Structures are given as structure tokens and as C-alpha cells.
Structure 1
Amino acid sequence: MINLNRLPTPITLEDLEKLAPVAFEELVRMNIIHRSIVLAWLNGRSTSPVGKGYADVEIDKEDAKHSYLKMKCFIDYQSKREVGRKVSHSMS
């Protein structure tokens, strides 16, 4: 388990390599877009589809990428209703 209070903010791969090597190894095995999503979530940022304007980071085909992280990497995240049926995602 990573003690996020020990990590500097914003959390970078370099920090994880030194302070949380197991997490670092997991992240470097991911493709770059999945790694970017997880790093954004670790830094308390939210994600949503491109062009929506309500999350910190906008990603093309966002739902498919989140599903991959949940089903293949076992990363849990939460969804927050933003506008109407629109949602943003962040690390739970």
C-alpha cells in the first residue's frame, strides 16, 4: 500500500520509482495513455471525454480506457455526475 502522504505533489514517475517501486513497475508496464490517466487520478485530478469542459483532463474514448483500467488492471475509480447525464471520473 502506498502512503500518499509521503509522496511529494504532484506525484511523478520519478517519485514513484524511488518511494513506491512496485507502483512504479505497474505504471511503466501500462501504455502511455493509461499511465497518464492513473497519474492524473493519483494527483487528485478528474477525467472526462474530450470537449466536455468539466474535468481536469480530457481524453478521447475515455470510457473504454477507464473500463480497461478497471477490468484489466483492477483500478477502482469513482464517477461523479457533472451536468445532466455527463460524468467525470477520479481515483476512489
Structure 2
Amino acid sequence: MKEPAKPQDEGRIAHFESSLDELESLVARMEGGDMSLDDSLKSFERGIALYRDCQQALEQAELRVRLLLDPEAPDDAQPFESDAS
């Protein structure tokens, strides 16, 4: 049975997704090569901040999964094997 998402979790997911979308948009604009050096540096700084936010969200999700897999010893929990190759 699937546990309903908590409002706090939904907010984190929405924040992660919007951060990822913004990061992808920044990368696309920077790859276009039409930005000034100053705009490129500002975009790079923003991209680093977004990357760190996304990385932290992924680490928290991984910890949550580990806790669900083995609440007694989350550090020993084994991740699921992927069927996709």
C-alpha cells in the first residue's frame, strides 16, 4: 500500500523539480553562447547553487529510502537492483 505524500514532501519535490528545470534552462542558455561574460558568471553561480540544492535533495531522498529499507541499520541497507541495463 502506497503511503500518501505529506504536504512537506510535496513541497520538497516541487522545489527539486523547479530547481532542476531552472538549472536545465540555465545550461541551455549558456550553451547558446549569446551571453555576456558577466551574465555567464552570474548564471554559473546560480547554476552551482541550484546544483547543490538538487544534490542535497537527492541525498535526503536516498537517506529516506535507506531508512525505509532497513530502519534499524540504514547504513547497511542495500539499494534495489535495477532491471534496466
Q: Same fold (TM over 0.5)?
A: no
Q: Which has the higher strand share?
A: 1
Larger Cα-atom Rg: 2
Q: TM-score, normalised by structure 2?
A: 0.28
Scaled by the length of structure 1, the TM-score of the pair is: 0.27
